[in-house]
Chains A and B, each alone.
Chain A
Amino acid sequence: MTSAISVSKLTKRYGEIEAVRGIDFEVAAGETFGFLGPNGAGKSTTIKILCTLADPTSGTARVAGHDVVSERDTVRRNIGLVFQDTTLDNYLTGEQNLRFHADLYGVPKVAFGPRLRQVLEMVGLWDRRGSVVSTYSGGMQRRLEIARGLLHAPRVLFLDEPTVGLDPQTRVSIWAYINDLKAREDITIFLTTHYMDEAENCDRIAIIDHGKIVAIDTPEALKASIGKDRVQISTADDPAAIAALGEIFGLEAGVHEGLVTFSVESGEHFVPKLFESLPVAIRSVSVSRPSLDDVFMSYTGKTIRDAEASIGDRNRRIATRFGRR
Chain B
Amino acid sequence: MAQDTVSRDALGAQPPDLTELIRVAVPEGSIRADLRAVSIVWRRELIRFRTDRLRAVTSLVQPVLFLFVLGTGLSRLASRGLPAGVDFRTFIYPGVLAMSVLFTAIFSAASIVWDREFGFLREMLVAPVRRWAIVVGKCLGGATVATFQGLIFLALAGVAHVPYDPLLMLTLVGELLLLSFTLTAFGVMMAARIKQIQAFMALTQLFVLPLFFLSGALYPLNGLPPWLTVLTRIDPLTYIVDPMRHAVFAHLAFGQVLNRLSPGITWFGWSVPLGLSLGIVAAMGLTMLGIAIAEFRKTE
Contact = CB atoms under 8 A, between A and B. Distances in A.
Interface in B24-46: 24-27, 29, 33, 36-37, 39-40, 44
A78 interface: yes
A108 B30 CA distance: 13
Interface in A42-99: 48, 51-55, 73-74, 76-78, 81, 83, 85-92, 96, 99
Given A91-B51, A106-B27, A122-B7, A115 B21 contact: yes
The 7 A-B pairs at the shortest CB distance, nearest first, are namely A103-B40, A76-B128, A104-B127, A87-B119, A121-B7, A54-B300, A153-B22
Contact of B26 (A52, A78, A81, A87): A78
Contacts of A83: 119, 122
Given A104-B40, A153-B22, A184-B18, A325 B300 contact: yes
Interface of A: 48, 51-55, 73-74, 76-78, 81, 83, 85-92, 96, 99-101, 103-108, 111, 114-115, 117-118, 121-122, 124, 126, 152-153, 155, 176, 180, 184-186, 322-325
Nearest to A78: B26
B132 to A, nearest CB: 13
Contacts of A87: 118-120, 122-123
Nearest to B22: A153
23 contacts: A48-B300, A53-B126, A55-B299, A78-B26, A81-B126, A87-B118, A87-B123, A88-B120, A88-B123, A92-B48, A104-B123, A104-B127, A106-B27, A106-B36, A117-B10, A118-B11, A118-B21, A124-B3, A152-B25, A180-B1, A185-B19, A185-B22, A322-B116
Interface of B: 1, 3-4, 7, 10-11, 14-15, 18-19, 21-22, 24-27, 29, 33, 36-37, 39-40, 44, 47-48, 51-52, 115-116, 118-120, 122-129, 195, 298-300
Contact of B47 (A55, A81, A92, A106): A92
From A48, A114, A126, name the one whose CB has the most chain B CB atoms within 10 angstroms.
Answer: A114
A309 B15 CA distance: 47
A73 B24 contact: no
Contacts of B36: 103, 106
A76 B299 CA distance: 14
